[in-house]
Structure 1
Amino acid sequence: MGQRRPWEVDDGLWERIEPLLPKVERRFRHPGRKRLDDRKALCGIMFVLYTAIPWEFLPQELGYGSGMTCWRRLRDWTEAGVWQRLHELLLAELHAAGQLDWSRAAVDGSHVRALKGGPKTGPSPVDRARVGSKHHVITDGTGIPLAATLTGGNRHDVTQLMPLIHAIPAVRGRRGRPRRRPQRLYADRAYDHDKYRKLVRAAGITPLIARRGQEHGSGLGVHRWVVEGAFALLHWFRRLRIRWEIRDDIHEAFLTLGCAIICWRRLKAHSIC
């Protein structure tokens, strides 16, 4: 057998996704054309995520249906909250396996160009004021994305600090209360505001944020590098390197799906070990 292509959904991931998908009953009267199999549609969505190919150019010979069919399925599943629930499910499995490090977390933002504009875009201060967006991510101590948000490219990183913390879901998987707060939070100088340090402490987290004006070598980088690694993994998906979607919810769907796939890879690596 040939090697599985990365955008093909393996059995383990499909077993987790299928129960989350909304059920669509086929009409008995005037049923029309048979509905494309959900797993094939998901493979089409994954193909676009991995390759960034325009929807209308999705190769028909792959058997994933038309690009418009896959786009509609992505839209419908996004509205049903499938991707967030998948991410939370995989986080719970990682937590149950002892693969989440809650002793520390790291946060950062990354610019992406938005070629078609749309909501949550703005002039990027690091890209000669070209229209762009920002991905904001908070990870656990090993680089697993706990939450991600999308803003305009002109939004300051620190404005998303508390929204990211609040976006961490209540992660189940072990006996007792669900876990949703790391013990310590590492961030670079962009987050150096005493107001936000107080807010982070009020949330029950110890902030460890580099201060502006001080020489490099604070020692915080040995803990913050994991979030840079998470961005490298997310932007390995070509659809996340550049924002092609005008609709912000569709781009956020790809972002959350990317986070879930990173979790799935870690979970599979742990089970193999």
Structure 2
Amino acid sequence: MTAVDLGPPAAYTARVTRLSPTDRGKAGSKYHVLCDRNGLPLHAVVTGANTHDSRILAELLDTNPGVRERRGQAGRPRRRPGKLHADKGYDYPRCRRYLTGRGIGVRIARRGVEDSSRLGRVRWVVERTMAWLLSFRRLGLRYERSRTSIEALLKLACALICLRRLP
């Protein structure tokens, strides 16, 4: 099982992101995080706040590095999850087609039909991971101006979270 989530938008620079009419001309960014069932971040991407979530799903899954499920397991690392839990931002036919085409089980909250309380049993893991990421001050307040700096700090924070969770 794998889950996907995004972080709240915050302003950092117009050079990296396009202007959003809802932010009154301020630029913003979002963190898209792919994590495993234990909340370890597998992959993270920074996008503009006005980039829709559904457009990032394929990039997020295609650039996911391979992960072995158990230590010492023989064979190639698994590159795709068995099942994906996502919020309503990913409830679009192209996302569902993409996931089923890759053989990934789909568990996406439906827009306007399903409330998110039933997904809370699984999604709290992703929300906790986002809280861990945003606890790093430079990521939460977005001091950095360039996209490469923000992505580097995001990857470093993911590595530190994984390091802290080692037994």
Same fold (TM > 0.5): yes
Distance 1:122 1:228 in 2: 27
With over 3 angstroms needed to count, the CA separation of the structure-2 counterparts of 1:217 and 1:136, relative to structure 1, is closer
Distance 2:74 2:19 in 1: 44
1:135 to 13, 31, 38: 31
Relative contact order, CA 8 A, sep 6+: which one is greater?
2
Alignment of 1:106 with 2:3, yes or no, is: yes
Distance 2:49 2:126 in 1: 19
Which letter maps to 1:168? N
Partner of 1:157: 53
Distance 1:186 1:193 in 2: 14
Residue 225 of structure 1 aligns to a residue whose secondary structure is helix
CA drift of 1:190 comes to: 1.2
Alignment of 1:177 with 2:76, yes or no, is: yes
Partner of 1:148: 44
Residue 227 of structure 1 aligns to a residue whose secondary structure is helix
CA drift of 1:130 comes to: 2.7
Contact kept, 8 Å, 2:45 with 2:151, in 1: the verdict is yes
Contact kept, 8 Å, 1:139 with 1:227, in 2: the verdict is yes
Alignment of 1:210 with 2:109, yes or no, is: yes
- RMSD over aligned Cα atoms: 1.9
Contact kept, 8 Å, 1:122 with 1:133, in 2: the verdict is no
Partner of 2:122: 223
Partner of 1:67: none
Q: Give the length in aligned residue pairs.
A: 164
Contact kept, 8 Å, 2:12 with 2:143, in 1: the verdict is yes
Partner of 2:89: 190
Contact kept, 8 Å, 2:31 with 2:45, in 1: the verdict is yes
With over 3 angstroms needed to count, the CA separation of the structure-2 counterparts of 1:170 and 1:121, relative to structure 1, is same
Distance 1:153 1:124 in 2: 11
State the Cα deviation string for residues 31-52 of structure 1 (Å, max 9, x = none).
xxxxxxxxxxxxxxxxxxxxxx
**Aligned positions of 1:16-31 closer than 5 A:** none
Partner of 2:134: 235
Aligned residues with identical type, % of pairs? 45
Distance 2:32 2:98 in 1: 18
Answer with 1 or 2: which has the greater Rg. Answer: 1
TM-score scaled by length of structure 2:
0.89
Q: Which sections of structure 2, spanning at least 5 residues, go unmatched? A: none
CA drift of 1:162 comes to: 1.1
Contact kept, 8 Å, 1:119 with 1:247, in 2: the verdict is yes
TM-score scaled by length of structure 1:
0.56
